[in-house]
Structure 1
Amino acid sequence: MANEEKPQYVMAIDEGTTSTRCIIFDHAGQIVTTAQEEFTQILPKAGWVEHNPKEIWSAIRITVGDTLARAQINRHQLAAVGITNQRETTVVWDRHTGEPVYNAIVWQDARTEEIVSDLIAKEGANKYIDRVGVPISTYFSAFRIKWILDNVPGVRERAEAGDLYFGNMNTWVLWNLTGGINGGVHITDVTNASRTMLMNIRTLQWDEGVCKDLDIPMSVLPEIRSSSEVYGYGAKNSLLIDTPIAGILGDQQAATFGQACFNKGQAKNTYGTGNFMLMNTGEEPMRSSNGLITTVLYQLGGQKPVYALEGSVAVTGSLVQWLRDNLGIISSSSEVEELASQVEDAGGTYIVPAFSGLYAPYWRTDARGVIVGLTRYINRNHIARAVLESTAFQSADLLDAMNKDSGVTLQELRVDGGMTVDEILMQFQADLLGVDVVRPKVTETTALGAAYAAGLAVGFWDSTQDVIDNWAEDKRWSPRMDTAERDRRMRLWHKAVDRTLNWVDEDTRVLSE
């Protein structure tokens, strides 16, 4: 049967922050079908965010089965499978039993803030940045690994005995897809490895010195491979028996790849749980002087790696969820635009959602969220508008830093993610940036990028030119705000950001326990 049916599709498994999605694409890069399964957000303490790795593996099997059924195809018609994932989320498990030793600690989690702050005070935030491309921060996986080793009874001893594996979610997914305890491969790709704070950004190998400083046994770390090659084949328990698993890209790198940003200076911004802006900087890593991080964008097989500057914002789409779930101002996320459309602006209100500190370009773990500019005039419509505008302001900070670092003024920004359906947000974003904002016809660029990486590895697509040819514009927003008004809005935004700083101290830590 396998010999009779020529593969016509590529599958992408998109392991996100709140759900698992599986999408099947055809050769034109169009979606054939998709399936989605949400999983539990575990919030044991203020600032702590966890997932159950076994629940995620179950969600993957469900969505794989659903997409095959909905597309009315079988695994023989799949050329390959690609994986994309929430990046810095950390899981440690027993390689003999497959049992996680603790829940996965999610990239948004801030439990390591005190450890990180103490280290920064002693060593400075940039101690390792020339080697690993990123500052010392709660954002990256290294300190989550260290926390699990130091705080879960017996785990450090088991790790040092060689019994445990670490992985970001791509590694956990791949290990299970390829057999788990029955021959599963323990591999990550360069893009995910560059988010751990443990990989040398130039050699693309684990940095022994950083691992030693943080007391992380190197035996727990996966083998680092490129973003596009055959890592292994689906096992019996995966519903993808003998199908090549051939592409891995961290979610934001995958979106940049799916947006066909292959030329130096091209950039994209993804509007999801958080916002992530990446600019292609070519084959040499560029160190930021303006609060961005250096990351691997992709590596195709044995080719040279391509690097990017990245700005990461922790809370954008999740701020809409907060408005819904915590405040009850809206009953569904789609209502936020309807409310915001009832007013011309936010009435002088600014929301800075530093729920777990501020990421790029500020990197302040001591910040916490604020709402400023409140008067009796303000109603829920203004609050909804301020929520949307907050996303655009945070992204404007990122692009300003990128323009300064690269020395190149961006001509247009390619955008993707769920929030790009919001007309008010997209127009305000173009207004603040002063450049066109462009949305592609296929907005599922994260899954699409992983599919392309996998398909390129097995010859389903010939080259990145196929990716460029498949990309198509859907809508464009051009700036309408004059420069003086833009500058005024940004000045007030930065005034609001200043109010978030220096909030966390011993008293606030006691309150959150």
Structure 2
Amino acid sequence: MEAFYILGIDQSTQGTKAVLFNRTGKIIARCDAPHRQIISDQNWVSHDPEEIYRNVLQVSRQAVEKAGIDKNQIACIGIDNQRETTVGWSRETGKPIGNAIVWQCNRAKEICDRIARETGIGEKIYRTTGLKLSPYYPAGKMAWMLENIPGARGEAEKGTLALGTIDSWLVYKLTKEKSFKTDYSNASRTQLMNIKELKWDPEVCSIFDIPMEALPEICDSDSVFGHTDLEGYLDREIPICGNLGDSHGALYGHNCRTAGGIKATYGTGSSVMMNTGESPFFSSHGLSTSLAWRIQGKASYVLEGNINYTGAVISWLKDQLGLIQSAGETEELAKAADKNDKTYIVPAFSGLGAPWWRDDTLAIMTGMSRTTGKKEIVKAACDCIAYQINDVVEGMRKDSGIEISQLCVDGGPTRNHYLMQFQSDISRTGIKIPDAEELSVIGAAYLAGEAAGLYDADRIYEAISYEFYDTQMDETERTQKQDGWNKAINMLLRK
């Protein structure tokens, strides 16, 4: 077979990267471009959709030039995207009606509070969509656009308004406004899709006053979403045939494609996601239910828990406390700390995410003694990352009844050997770490390559090497440490 390449586009919160993969699934080039974080006086967070699209084109061209390949050997494109970030645009002009509302932005809180006051509506939304009513999701953000952006309601009444997540905006632009589509992983995170019937739900759309004709067509994640020549850069159009939300892309990139596969991404915050197979589980332990993807007509579901502060705790040690100069120092400091110190940090700086979902709490540090010092505080900061992820893992065990013997992990903090060993110990599971960092775009590109008939799904993961950690802590010590964490959480929740 002649040489070919797969182009993966990762459109994330901080920037956009283009990654080129060869026929064996190895990364041969990567280029990145940041975009502006637009913060208003009200602390609203926005992105410029046009800037993001320009960056997609820019990094795609740069990656080809960096690799020195024949651009016409690119066979197809896979896209993963920052989830929940919401774009509105006019299908008449092809222009945004305003900046994209970023997933972090809380501006739709009053709309969600208003809806929540109606008896039983919040539970109805959860049972239909698998997601607790929250301004975090696009439904509230779309409602805010319709209520507050001049001309948005008029576009809706004319039938020319488009509302979608970042993937649908990029597909629309890359296909020269021919395709208005999303995939099931992204649609399941809008809080507008019926999680069982796998379609936009008329009643939920009505609750948020969102016209269904403004929403994209939902397609299988391995569909052909359209064709693009990257605004004339390529001599021919190629298919966009893999599309996943970034956390779903990481799950696929970790090869967690069957029930019981679970991954944790360590970033500023963390997404812990577990493949539960062909049936949705509605959580009794503070977790969300979504689609992992739908591939070849077969849907796979996930349980997910999102945590606000994990890697950001290390940034706090550096930027606010001045205890470290770089994240790389934390491993040796934690290893050198007094193993009997009982300091715990609960980093509820912006409330607690899954499985607690309390936005009315503040962070605490407890259990310090006269001998507690810098090393012990750094150790507690590392430990709290593992404890929070374990709280979600335990919820998944209880909700699904699936035994978790291995946790696949990715993200910068996974380079901390102390943290990875402690995660294995406290979660009673093996830890599997890939040698690649770009798991989200790996998942999207591998899926695109498989959809195009170029990659063998059973062999492509041979391109990735792994490091493993096994549990070493005895059960008595683990129980004592977990009890201390539980007491710290309960102390916080009682306040």
TM-score, length of structure 1 as denominator length: 0.88
C-alpha distance in structure 1 between counterparts of 2:58 and 2:335, whole Å: 38
Please, which of 227, 230, 233 is the counterpart of residue 239 of structure 1? 233
- Greater shift in the superposed pair: 46-55 or 328-337: 328-337
C-alpha distance in structure 2 between counterparts of 1:500 and 1:58, whole Å: 45
Residue 136 of structure 1 deviates from its aligned partner by: 1.2
Who is 1:508 aligned against? none
Contact 1:85 1:250 in 2 (8 A): yes
The two structures, once aligned, show a CA RMSD in angstroms of 2.6
Residue 120 of structure 1 deviates from its aligned partner by: 3.4
C-alpha distance in structure 1 between counterparts of 2:214 and 2:221, whole Å: 21
Please, which of 254, 265, 276 is the counterpart of residue 271 of structure 2? 276
SS of match in other structure, 2:84: coil
Residue 351 of structure 1 deviates from its aligned partner by: 3.1
Who is 1:143 aligned against? 140
Residue 189 of structure 1 deviates from its aligned partner by: 0.3
* Number of residue-to-residue matches in the alignment: 493
The residue type equivalent to 2:187 in the other structure is A
C-alpha distance in structure 2 between counterparts of 1:408 and 1:21, whole Å: 35
C-alpha distance in structure 2 between counterparts of 1:364 and 1:139, whole Å: 14
Structure 1, residues 361-410: CA drift from partner, whole Å, max 9, x if none?
12233334444445665544444333322221111011101111111221
Who is 1:477 aligned against? 469
Who is 1:290 aligned against? 285
Contact 2:429 2:470 in 1 (8 A): yes
Please, which of 476, 480, 494 is the counterpart of residue 488 of structure 1? 480
Q: 1:313 to 1:69 in 2, by over 3 A?
A: same
Structure 1, residues 16-45: CA drift from partner, whole Å, max 9, x if none?
121211111123222111112222223325
Who is 1:53 aligned against? 49
C-alpha distance in structure 2 between counterparts of 1:96 and 1:38, whole Å: 29
Who is 2:125 aligned against? 128
Q: 1:222 to 1:328 in 2, by over 3 A?
A: farther
Please, which of 101, 108, 112 is the counterpart of residue 105 of structure 1? 101
C-alpha distance in structure 2 between counterparts of 1:322 and 1:74, whole Å: 45
Aligned pairs (5 A) from 1:28-427: 28-45=24-41, 48-123=44-119, 125-179=122-176, 183-237=177-231, 239-240=233-234, 242-301=237-296, 303-325=297-319, 329-337=323-331, 339-344=333-338, 347-373=341-367, 377-427=371-421
Q: 1:105 to 1:354 in 2, by over 3 A?
A: farther
Structure 1, residues 409-428: CA drift from partner, whole Å, max 9, x if none?
21111112222112121111
Q: 1:150 to 1:484 in 2, by over 3 A?
A: farther
Structure 1, residues 246-289: CA drift from partner, whole Å, max 9, x if none?
11011111111111112222212121232112222111222222
C-alpha distance in structure 1 between counterparts of 2:463 and 2:274, whole Å: 18
C-alpha distance in structure 1 between counterparts of 2:352 and 2:208, whole Å: 23
- Greater shift in the superposed pair: 416-425 or 49-58: 49-58
Q: 1:120 to 1:28 in 2, by over 3 A?
A: same
C-alpha distance in structure 2 between counterparts of 1:235 and 1:453, whole Å: 20
Aligned pairs (5 A) from 1:422-433: 422-433=416-427
TM-score, length of structure 2 as denominator length: 0.91
Contact 1:260 1:471 in 2 (8 A): no
The residue type equivalent to 2:293 in the other structure is Y
SS of match in other structure, 1:54: helix
Who is 1:510 aligned against? none
Q: 1:480 to 1:127 in 2, by over 3 A?
A: same
SS of match in other structure, 2:40: coil
C-alpha distance in structure 2 between counterparts of 1:159 and 1:242, whole Å: 31
Residue 329 of structure 1 deviates from its aligned partner by: 4.7
C-alpha distance in structure 1 between counterparts of 2:205 and 2:350, whole Å: 25
Structure 1, residues 154-203: CA drift from partner, whole Å, max 9, x if none?
32233332232112111122222222xxx342111000000001011122
Contact 2:18 2:56 in 1 (8 A): yes
Residue 318 of structure 1 deviates from its aligned partner by: 3.2
SS of match in other structure, 2:200: coil
Structure 1, residues 190-243: CA drift from partner, whole Å, max 9, x if none?
000000010111222111100101111222211111101211111452735512
SS of match in other structure, 2:32: strand
Residue 429 of structure 1 deviates from its aligned partner by: 0.6
C-alpha distance in structure 1 between counterparts of 2:319 and 2:99, whole Å: 23
SS of match in other structure, 2:192: coil
Who is 2:22 aligned against? 26
Residue 460 of structure 1 deviates from its aligned partner by: 0.8
Contact 1:7 1:78 in 2 (8 A): no
% identical aligned pairs: 40
Contact 1:17 1:273 in 2 (8 A): no
Question: Is residue 17 of structure 1 aligned with residue 13 of structure 2?
Answer: yes
Gaps of at least 5 residues in structure 2 are none
SS of match in other structure, 1:228: coil
